[in-house]
Amino acid sequence: MTTVSPGQAVPNFQLPATGDKLLSLADFAGKKLLLYFYPKDNTPGCTQEGQAFRDHIQQFEALNTEILGVSRDSVKMHEGFKCKQAFPFDLLSDQDEQLCQLFDVIKMKNMYGKQVRGIERSSFLIDENGVLVREWRKVKVKTHVEEVLLALRQL
C-alpha cells in the first residue's frame, strides 16, 4: 500500500471503532476530519493528548471538524479508555496496521534501551473533500491541540 501525502486524496478506509461501529472516511464527507495516531491506550502521553482534544471539542465542532483517535489497541481496550476519559469522539482499532501504513506512522523507537516497532504520535487533517491538507509528525502533546486549531482557522 502506498502512503498519502499532503495535497493528495485519502483512499477510503474502513475500521472497527468504539460504539460497535465500522467507520470509513466516506462517513465524514462534507466535514473536516482529524485523525490522531497514538501509541497505546491508558498511557500518560496518550491520555493527556486525548483529554486535550476532549476539552476543546466544542472548538473543533464549531470548525466543522470531527476527531478520531487511532491506535493498534483492540476495540475492547478502546471502549474502556474512551469511557474512563469521557472522550466525545470515537477511537479506531487498527490492529492490522492498515491505516498506520497508509499514513506511514509505524516507526522503530527506543523503549528502555530496546528497539521496538510502534506508532509515532502523529495527526492528519483531511478536508471536506477527502484531501489530506496538513500533517503533524512527532507531536508534542502540550502544544498540539492549539497548533491544530490554528491550522483549522487558517483554512
The domain segmentation of the chain, as residue ranges, is 27-154
CA 29/CA 129 separation, integer angstroms: 7
Enzyme catalytic residues: 46
Q: What is the per-residue pLDDT across 82-115, written as a single tens digit (0 to 9) for each?
A: 999 999 999 999 999 999 999 999 998 887 788 8
Work out the average pLDDT over 70-92: 98
Burial class, 106, CB count within 10 angstroms (exposed 0-12 / middle 13-18 / buried 19+): middle
**pLDDT over 70 percentage in the chain:** 99
Radius of gyration of the chain (CA): 14
Q: What is the pLDDT of residues 8-33, one digit of tens each?
A: 999 999 999 999 999 999 999 999 99
pLDDT at 28: 97
Q: Which tens digits make up the pLDDT trace of 118-130?
A: 899 999 999 999 9
146: its cell numbers: 492549539
Q: Are 121 and 20 in contact (CB under 8 A)?
A: no
What pLDDT does 1 receive?
Answer: 54
Whether the pLDDT of residue 116 is over 80: the answer is yes
- What is the average pLDDT value for the chain, to the nearest integer? 95
Q: What is the pLDDT averaged over residues 3-8?
A: 94
> Rounded to two decimals, what is the model's pTM?
0.95
The dotted CATH code for 27-154 is: 3.40.30.10
Kindly state the average pLDDT of the residues 36-43. Answer: 96
| CB distance 52 to 141 below 8 Å | yes
Task: Measure CA of the first residue to CA of the last residue in the chain; give whole Å.
Answer: 29
